[in-house]
Amino acid sequence: MMKTNTFLLISTLVLTCSSALANDNTAPSNAEPKVQWGMSLGLNRYTESKMQLLGTEIGLHARLSGVNMLPNWQLEGDVLLGRQKYTSNGTGDLNGVLNVETRWRALAPVYRTGEGQEGLSAGLGLHTLWNDLRGTTTTNHAGYERLATQIWLPVRWTSAAAWELEGGLLLRGTHTSRLSQANSINADIHNTQKSGAYMQASTSLKLEDGTRLSPFVRFTSLGDSNTVRSGSQLWVEPRSQRWQIGAVLNF
């Protein structure tokens, strides 16, 4: 799987960079950078086989294009802050769980069908996640922090009809569980994830004041990680699914 992902990464980046650089060489050198800001409100539902996290989240979004040296590239960032409820049949419930997710992407056109970003784009993405499960559940189980860093291969189709369809393959991810916060006997562990994908669909609606509202739905699926030992136990980060539904107000 890792060899396949590496081949996809190299092939896509070579194709993307070749196309983007060729376009950059013919683009006007006096292009002005443009930043589009957005704020979002949505619902986040994360599930594993034995637990669930559910809650609302707010987000700050930015898209930068027209950078002097690379006018055809688009640089993007999303920062999402959520407050969720943890529920588990085995370890009880916990309210007020903080969740911070960031996504950073660099995308360049592969095949253009119109102006701006219309058509097919691809590039590279970096996602991070911090999940604060510290505290005591309703059944007196102690929690701990979970952190993840992931490298993704995103591909996006943007249509003239204001639709965006985006998908991504996970190239590699590292998941850290600070087990020592729950029990000092355990050491913190670092699992490696090599299997995952996401899909997102959104559209853009122009409002009377000139701003745009972009409803979206996003689904992310991650496979089982490798297995590592902490103390006398073997630990694996299990397969998971995440649904995110909301809307971004762009201005």
Q: What is the SS3 string spanning 169-217? A: EEEEEEEEECHHHCCCCCCCEEEEECCEEEEEEEECEECCCCCEEEEEE
> What is d(CA 104, CA 149) in angstroms, rounded to the nearest whole number?
11
Question: How far does the chain reach from its first CA to its final CA, in angstroms?
Answer: 41
Write down the pLDDT at residue 116.
Answer: 73
For residue 161, the model assigns a pLDDT of 80
Confidence of residue 28 (pLDDT cuts 50, 70, 90): very low
Average pLDDT rounded to a whole number, residues 211-238: 95
% of residues, the chain, pLDDT over 70: 88
Q: At 15, which helix (H) or strand (E)?
A: helix 2-26
Strand ranges in the chain using DSSP code E only, listed in sequence order: 34-47, 52-65, 74-88, 92-112, 119-132, 145-158, 163-177, 189-193, 196-203, 205-206, 212-222, 227-230, 233-236, 240-250
- Does residue 50 surpass a pLDDT of 60? yes
> Which secondary-structure segment (H or E) carries 18?
helix 2-26
Q: What is the pLDDT of residues 69-93, one digit of tens each?
A: 888 899 999 999 999 999 999 999 9
> Which pair of structure tokens corresponds to residue 74?
């688009």
Q: Which domains does the chain have, with CATH numbers?
A: 2-26+33-250 (2.40.128)
Q: Determine the pLDDT at residue 4.
A: 54
What average pLDDT does the chain have?
A: 90
Residues 6 or more apart whose Cβ sits within 8 Å of residue 91: 51, 137, 139, 141
